[in-house]
Amino acid sequence: MQMNPKYYYDSFVKPNYDEFCDDEGSIRKAFNAILSLFHMTDNYFNYYKRRGDPRVALFGELKDFQKHMDGITPYFNDVQSMANAYKHLYANSGKAHVTVASGGAVYVEEISENDTSLDNINFGGSVYTVYYLKKDGNSMPVMDALSGMIKAWKNLLQ
C-alpha cells in the first residue's frame, strides 16, 4: 500500500497521538506526535498534488497549503515551530510564522494534587504535563496544540 494521507495518519499520526494521550508527561511521546502531525501536511499536499487532485489544486506550493492550514487551526504554526525547533534546536524566530523558537521551549512540568485549577481530578499524587513556551511569552499544554491539529486532520481526511 502506498503511503497515502489516510494510511500515514492511521499508521503514524494517530498512534503517536494516542501514545501521548496515555502519557502526557512524556516529552519523547510529545515530540513523536508533534513530528508526525507536522509531516502530515507534507504527505497530504504532495500526495494529492502529484495526482492533480482538486483537494490541493488551489495551492501552488507547499507553503501556500501551510498558510491554509494555519487558517484552519491556530495551532498549526505552533506545531510547525516545535517540529522545526526539535529537529534543528532553534527555529528562525525572526520569521512571523515561527511561534516557538527552540526545542528547549518544550518542557515538562509537575502538577501537584494541590493545584486548585484541577479541582475535579483526583491524582493520588503528582502528574507531569508537557508544555511549550511561545515567543509571545504564553505557555500552553502541548496536548492543546496536538488535539487542535488532530481535529483539523479528521475533518480534512473525511
SS3 content of the chain, % helix, strand, coil (to 5): 55, 10, 35
- 66-109: pLDDT as tens digits: 999 989 998 998 888 888 765 544 455 555 454 544 455 566 67
Please list the residues that pair with 111 across neighbouring strands.
Answer: 127
* Phi, psi angles (nearest 5°) of residue 104: -70, -10
pLDDT digits (tens, 9 = 90+) for 140-150: 888 999 999 99
Q: What is the pTM of this model?
A: 0.78
The larger pLDDT score, comparing residue 131 to residue 64, is at 64
The cell numbers describing 25, all together, are 508527561
Q: Total domain count for the chain? A: 1
Q: Which residue is associated with the grid cell 515530540?
A: 31
Domain ranges, residue 147? 5-156
